[in-house]
């Protein structure tokens, strides 16, 4: 089963990270990533650019509204993610508990990634997506 570990933090927590030496941060995260690679569970891992560089597309009105970051009233920002291929939710939780980025304001949300096999296989759009995934080596 695949699980996504969504790394979230408050603005205050991110600000606190600015005091950490970047080379030290890379080494710390690199060791964590390497553990997952050696365990054979890491599928993907990406960090995200600063929220100030992002935009939000809001679909609340008929015409979507685009707003530049940083975002008002933000309590937590999604800062990056891991996708793990593990045997259970409990195993995903154990990997999340080992994250080196911890402390007040940091959280990891864990969500199972659904498989294309869980959708109706006789659906035209699922068949097209399956063909695309097979053609690109994703299945």
Name all domains of the chain by residue range, CATH numbers in brackets. Answer: 2-135 (3.30.70.1060)
CB 48 within 8 A of CB 39: no
State the 10-residue block means of pLDDT for the chain, 139 residues long.
93 86 91 96 92 86 86 74 97 96 91 93 95 93
Q: What is the pLDDT of residue 72?
A: 58
Q: What is the pLDDT of residue 52?
A: 80
Q: What is the pLDDT of residue 98?
A: 95
Query: Does the predicted TM-score (pTM) go above 0.75?
Result: yes
Q: What is the pLDDT of residue 70?
A: 66
CB 36 within 8 A of CB 125: no
């Amino acid at each position: 089963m695949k699980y996504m570990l969504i790394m979230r933090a408050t603005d205050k927590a991110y600000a606190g990270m600015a005091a950490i030496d970047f080379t030290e941060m890379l080494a710390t995260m690199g060791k964590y990533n390497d553990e997952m690679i050696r365990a054979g569970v890491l599928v993907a891992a990406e960090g995200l650019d600063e929220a100030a560089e992002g935009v939000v597309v809001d679909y609340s009105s008929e015409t979507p509204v685009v707003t530049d970051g940083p975002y008002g009233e933000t309590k937590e920002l999604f800062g990056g993610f891991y996708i793990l291929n593990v045997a259970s939710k409990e195993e995903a939780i154990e990997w999340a508990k080992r994250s080196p980025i911890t402390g007040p304001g940091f959280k990891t949300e864990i969500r199972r990634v659904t498989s294309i096999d869980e959708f109706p296989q006789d659906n035209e759009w699922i068949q097209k997506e399956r063909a695309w995934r097979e053609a690109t080596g994703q299945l």
